Structure 1
Amino acid sequence: MRILTVSHFYEGHGGGIERVAGHLCRQFTQLGVQAVWAASDADQPPERDVEAVPLACVDPIEKVIGLPMPLARVRAIRALAREMHRSNAVVVHDALYMTSILALLMSKAFRKRVVLIQHIAGIPFSSRILRSVMALANIVITRPMLRAADAVVFISDTVRHDLVGTPARIPFQLLFNGVDGAIFHPASGPLPVPEAPAAISILLGTRRILFVGRYVEKKGLSVLRALAAFRQDLAFLMVGSGPIHPGKWGLANVHDLGVQSPQALADLYRGADFLLLPSVGEGFPLVIQEAMACGLPVVCGEPSNRADPGAAKWLRGVAIDLTDPDGSARRCADAIDSLALTSEERAAMARYALAQYDWRATALGVLTLAGGGVAKP
């Protein structure tokens, strides 16, 4: 069986959706399925395990407003059509991208079964115009695509509720993203005194606040900047990349570590005091699940803390308003100061994450919806 996965970018872009697409493609291969991945050629495609089909695109919108929205060129449309013809089924990641729209339309034209995995709902941008555009796009594009897909997967119960209501107006499956337990897990034995990353000076005893994600508006970078400015007693370790540059904020307690390998990221989870993700318009970001698996307390923007009802008791949600970064920063500070998980609670959270979030199980669920016969788990 040949499964075509379509996303807006490859993993090298650094976003959560493309990381999920990469994990699932590799799982498809391990399960004996021929995995093909089509995405924008803006980043380096995977070099092994997955057959890559880079699509010629331009991405002017992200450079202006930080919203990734690659636009396909004519030769990209032709390449996608060729792969659609050769594939047995199609897995599309998120509805609001041109590559996703093209893939769903082509799947209908070629009579291929399509599984749509929806990661996000609306994004409350600070700009009223962008908020209105996003709301309209979900009405005009996202909801019709959800109805048109042969099967729909949500990776967050809150995204499901926002887009199809409760009770849901269409059939769906709730499949959480997985976690690589070989990399992301608690430290064995007592936690050592954490060392500062290379070339960074952090006073012993200073609490370390870890951020992992794209450096874009929706991830709450303005909130992080405001928080770092008035909480000099905290050290902020920033992992990611994007059009916003935390290293240029002029704040001595903000350390831009750039993109990190999974192994290095796991060490940062184990050495930090909190993961702080003051983002908006999210489903269930993969970094939250990875932090949980490492036993790291999480403060995140609402409603991501409720994406998995079974995990909600360990996650502290904060109301984030991008039009009021100072007020949002104060609420984040209150959450950081008041959240105190015991060692037993952190261990229970890690056990839950490692048992509940499994890439193989998620991939099997997607393949079942795609109609593929695969090996037993």
Structure 2
Amino acid sequence: MRILSVSNFFDTHGGGLERVAGHLNREFAAAGHEVAWAASDADGLPANPAQSVALRCVNPTESLTGLPMPIPGPRSVVRLWRAVRQADAVVVHDALYVTSILAMIFAKVARRRTVMVQHIGAIPFANPLLNAMLKLANALVTAPMMAAVDHLAFISATVRADLLGSHPKRESLLVFNGTDRSIFHDRPSAPRGEARARWALPGDAKLAVFVGRFVEKKGLRVLRLVAEQRPEVQFALVGQGPIDPRVWGLPNVHVLGQQPQQSIADLYRAADVLLLPSVGEGYPLVIQEAMACGLPVICGVQSAHADPEARRWLVGIDIDLDDAVRSAAACAAALDGPAPPRADRAAMARYAAETYNWTRMASALLDGIAPVSR
């Protein structure tokens, strides 16, 4: 069976959604299917460019709002149409992207089976105009997309409740992202000092790690205030984006840029906590990967409740971008809390290793596509 995945960008963009799409494509291929991947080529092609359907897009909103919205040109629209027609099934990642909307329309016209993986729900921006626009977009676009898709999946219980309500009438699937267990695993005896020295991080200070896009919804303003309030804590920031933390001028903030997955895993094992004060998230992949490494997590309450079984290990903070000072104070207080016992961290890592599995996630989605092959 030929499966076309459609996402906003390829995984070279560095966001969690694109990384999920990349992992699933590899699982689909390992299961014996022919795969293709359509996305904006703004940040380059994925590791297997032969499978890519590169779309030339403009992305005017990301630098202004932090919200990426790649818009394909006419030739790329035609390229996407041809890719949909050549596929047996289309897997769409999130509803609100122009590429997702076009792919869904083309799939319905061509009578191809569709699966949609919804990663995010509402995003509470500090700007009330953006909030109103997103609410309207979810009503006018996300809801019809969910109604039109053949098989609907969510990566977070909170996103499902946000978009379908507490007692949804629409049948859907809850599928958690996986982790690469060959990279992200607990290793209590790992030499923390060596990993810290690699990035010139103090060996004896408390180290909080942030991994994600440098955008408003990830809580960068909150993070800056926490770093100002806790100068004795060191903050290692992995990622990139329109916000540049280097201009903060804070000596305890270390911007490491993009890092390979193995280096991020080493950093998790050398750190004391993952701090991700984000809003409007589903279940960020970095949280699951940090859990697999046995690293305590402080995150937005929506993310902390994404997997009901994992809530006991995650410290959820009610992040309000309109009240960043209060949110930062709550995060700082959580940083001052006692470190969880080693046994609890080991139990969390075992749970992540057993529960977050890419093959299982891909198999659940393939079950929704299966009628095509019969």
CA deviation profile, 1:75-110 (whole Å, cap 9, x unmatched): 111000111111000000000100000010111000
Unmatched runs of 5 consecutive residues or more in structure 2 = none
**Under a length normalisation based on structure 2, what TM-score does the superposition of the two structures give?**
0.97
Q: What is the CA–CA distance in structure 2 between the aligned matches of 1:50 and 1:197, rounded to whole Å?
A: 39
State the partner residue of 2:368. 369
Look up the equivalent residue of 2:273 and give its one-letter code. Answer: F
Q: Alignment partner of 2:336: what SS?
A: helix
Shift of 1:248: 1.4
1:325 aligns with 2:324: yes
Judging changes above 3 Å, is the alpha-carbon distance between structure 1 residues 188 and 232 closer, same or farther for their aligned structure 2 residues?
closer
Deviations 1:25-79, CA, capped at 9 Å, x for gaps:
0111111111100001112112328600101110011121111000111111100
Farther-moved stretch of structure 1 (286-295 vs 138-147)? 138-147
- 2:189, 2:249 → 1: CA distance? 38
CA-CA distance at 1:199 after TM superposition: 5.0
In the alignment, which residue of structure 2 is the partner of 1:165?
Answer: 165
- Residue 36 of structure 1 aligns to a residue whose secondary structure is strand
Measured after TM superposition, the shift of residue 3 of structure 1 is 0.0
Could you say which residue in structure 2 is the equivalent of 1:126?
126
Structure 2 vs 1, CA of residues 69 and 207 (structure 1 numbering), >3 Å: closer, same or farther?
same
1:239 and 2:238 aligned? yes
Structure 2 counterpart of 1:9:
9
2:152 match: 152
What SS does the corresponding residue of 1:68 show, helix, strand or coil? Answer: coil
**What is the TM-score with the length of structure 1 in the denominator?**
0.96
Aligned-partner Cα distance in 2 for 1:370–1:339: 47
The CA distance in 2 between the partners of 1:372 and 1:248, in whole Å, is 53
Change (3 A) 1:366 1:206: same
Taking structure 1 as reference, are residues 332 and 216 closer, same or farther at Cα in structure 2, changes over 3 Å only? Answer: same
Q: Secondary structure at the match of 1:236?
A: strand
Q: CA RMSD in A?
A: 1.5
Q: Does 1:182 align with 2:182?
A: yes
Aligned equivalent of 1:34? 34
* Map of 1:340 onto structure 2: 339
Distance in 1 of aligned mates of 2:189 and 2:10: 36
Shift of 1:189: 3.4
SS of aligned partner of 2:9:
coil
Contact 2:5-2:91 at 8 Å conserved across structures: yes
Partner of 1:268 in structure 2?
267
Q: Which residue of 2 aligns with 1:289?
A: 288
Q: In 2, Cα distance between the equivalents of 1:170 and 1:109? A: 23
Shift of 1:200: 2.4
Select the structure that is richer in helix: 2
Aligned length: 373
**How many Å apart are 1:250 and its aligned residue?**
0.3
Q: Distance in 1 between matches of 2:153 and 2:338?
A: 32
Moved more, 248-257 or 187-196: 187-196
1:39 alignment partner, SS class: strand
Shift of 1:194: 5.4
For 2:103 and 2:157, the matched residues in 1 are separated by 25
Question: Does structure 2 retain, via aligned residues, the 8 Å contact 1:29–1:50?
Answer: no
CA offsets per residue over residues 189-244 of structure 1, 9 Å max, x none? 36654542435242x42100000000000000000011111210100000000000
**Equivalent pair of 2:88/2:372 in contact (CA under 8 Å):** no
Give the 3-state SS of the residue equivalent to 2:8 in structure 1. coil
What SS is found at the alignment partner of 2:321?
A: coil
Q: Which string of whole-angstrom CA distances, capped at 9 and with x for unpartnered residues, describes residues 102-138 of structure 1? A: 0101110000000000000000000010111111111
TM-superposed CA distance for 1:340, in Å, is 2.4
What is the 5 A alignment of 1:93-104? 93-104=93-104
Deviation at 1:325, TM superposition (A): 1.4
Given that 1:37 and 1:50 are in contact with CA atoms closer than 8 Å, whether structure 2 keeps it comes out as: no
Q: Per the alignment, in what secondary structure is the counterpart of residue 84 of structure 2?
A: helix
- Change in CA separation of 1:155 and 1:322 when aligned onto 2, cut-off 3 Å: same
Q: What's 1:225 paired with?
A: 224
What percentage of aligned pairs have identical amino acids?
Answer: 50
- Alignment partners' CA distance in 1, 2:346 and 2:26: 29
- Structure-2 change in CA distance of 1:52 and 1:164 (3 Å): same
Separation in 2, partners of 1:47, 1:303:
32
Amino acid at match of 2:9: F
Distance 1:351 1:140, change over 3 A: same
**Which residue of structure 2 lines up, in the alignment, with residue 19 of structure 1?**
19
> Distance in 1 between the 2:5 and 2:260 partners?
23
Note if contact 1:55-1:79 (Cα within 8 Å) is conserved in structure 2. yes
The DSSP-based 3-state class of the residue aligned with 1:43 is coil
For the 8 Å contact 2:113–2:372, the answer to whether it is kept is: no
Residue 302 of structure 1, CA deviation:
1.2
Question: Which letter does structure 2 place at the counterpart of 1:37?
Answer: W
**CA distance in 2 between partners of 1:339 and 1:292 (Å):** 17
